[in-house]
């Protein structure tokens, strides 16, 4: 029988699928790694499985203990799934810009969700970052600290990078990924560059995040609010290793959402807003490459988590990403 002992054994080995939207027919081959094929639906499953299993194996935590972290949603769902499968309790703090679909998904695994305001300083105890740190310290919970945990990076060094190398038979020339915590990008990129130092690593960052200028070695800008979820940050994270990054492409909310919608309608590949960011950046990279290049991008999660946001016309109009009839009349 072809069976698995548990849901966590399905983590990883996600497929690479050719991307054609925005890529000229006589240009390079572009592929996206569909991380929504992971059991909880995102690339964060890899990190959650790795960190928690390692903590259990080393005796840092035991069955019945509580794990906690801040999340924009995907990691929370992954942690909640892993905790459910391994007999742990999970608490996740999320900013109020997190989609309802993500919050409901986290709760469906039996985890507790604490919603916090988005528009507060990183150091504000009311925000999702400090809320998780303070609760962990007060109650002795296992704090997963995804922003700074090097096991986050290790998870992708051990799985994501090797899978890409194997599936492209070592022919990959460009690796494109969003910067969330930096773990996916840093771990996979380090593995790939160890195999071939000529591989170009392109990080994708939303407008309003501080990562782009940090990687470029410039003074950190004042962070601004942006709508795309899962990538970008208002602080620098230790899971991001800038030494493996060759270039950063900044993408705004509108281009991210428009491209996610376009790819879904043109190719049936239903990625989230950050996947739109990556696809938009891949077009820019492809426009500069010859036909021999092989570009691989990470689609971190699926669009089903954003049906009430970037895939909802009314939400897009409300936030100025689609023209309403009144807006169109004003523009005449």
By annotation, the residues acting in catalysis are: 44
- Helix residue spans in the chain (DSSP H): 44-57, 74-86, 100-108, 128-139, 150-158, 160-167, 183-195, 211-215, 253-267, 273-287, 313-318, 325-330
Q: How far apart are CA 87 and CA 76, in angstroms?
A: 16
- The helix (run of H) or strand (run of E) holding residue 85 is helix 74-86
Q: How far apart are CA 12 and CA 90, in angstroms?
A: 22
Residue in 130, 42, 134, 116 with CA at minimum distance from that of residue 80: 42
Contact predicate 42/275, CB 8 Å: no
């Amino acid at each position: 029988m072809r069976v698995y002992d548990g849901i966590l054994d399905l983590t990883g080995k996600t497929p690479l699928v050719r991307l054609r939207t925005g890529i000229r027919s006589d240009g390079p081959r572009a592929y996206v790694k569909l991380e929504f094929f992971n059991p909880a639906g995102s690339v964060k499953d890899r990190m959650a499985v790795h960190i928690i299993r390692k903590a259990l194996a080393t005796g840092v935590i035991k069955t019945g203990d509580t794990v906690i972290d801040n999340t924009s949603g995907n990691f929370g769902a992954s942690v909640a799934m892993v905790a459910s499968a391994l007999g742990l309790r999970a608490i996740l703090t999320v900013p109020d810009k997190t989609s309802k679909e993500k919050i409901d998904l986290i709760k469906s695994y039996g985890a507790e969700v604490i919603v916090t305001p988005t528009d507060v300083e990183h150091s504000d105890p009311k925000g999702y970052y400090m809320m998780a740190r303070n609760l962990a310290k007060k109650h002795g919970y296992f704090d997963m600290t995804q922003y700074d945990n090097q096991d986050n990076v290790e998870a992708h060094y051990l799985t994501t990078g090797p899978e890409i190398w194997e599936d492209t038979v070592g022919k990959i020339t460009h690796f494109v990924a969003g910067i969330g915590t930096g773990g996916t990008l840093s771990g996979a990129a380090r593995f790939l560059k160890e195999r071939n130092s000529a591989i170009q690593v392109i990080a994708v960052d939303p407008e309003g995040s501080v990562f782009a200028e940090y990687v470029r070695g410039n003074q950190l800008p004042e962070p601004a609010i942006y709508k795309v979820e899962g990538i970008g940050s208002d602080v620098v994270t230790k899971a991001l290793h800038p030494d493996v990054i060759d270039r950063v492409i900044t993408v705004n909310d509108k281009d991210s959402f428009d491209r996610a919608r376009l790819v879904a309608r043109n190719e049936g590949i239903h990625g989230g807003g950050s996947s739109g960011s990556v696809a938009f950046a891949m077009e820019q990279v492809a426009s500069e490459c010859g036909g021999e290049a092989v570009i691989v991008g990470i689609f971190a999660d699926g669009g089903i988590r954003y049906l009430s946001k970037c895939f909802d016309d009314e939400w897009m109009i409300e936030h100025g990403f689609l023209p309403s009839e009144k807006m169109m009349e004003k523009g005449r």
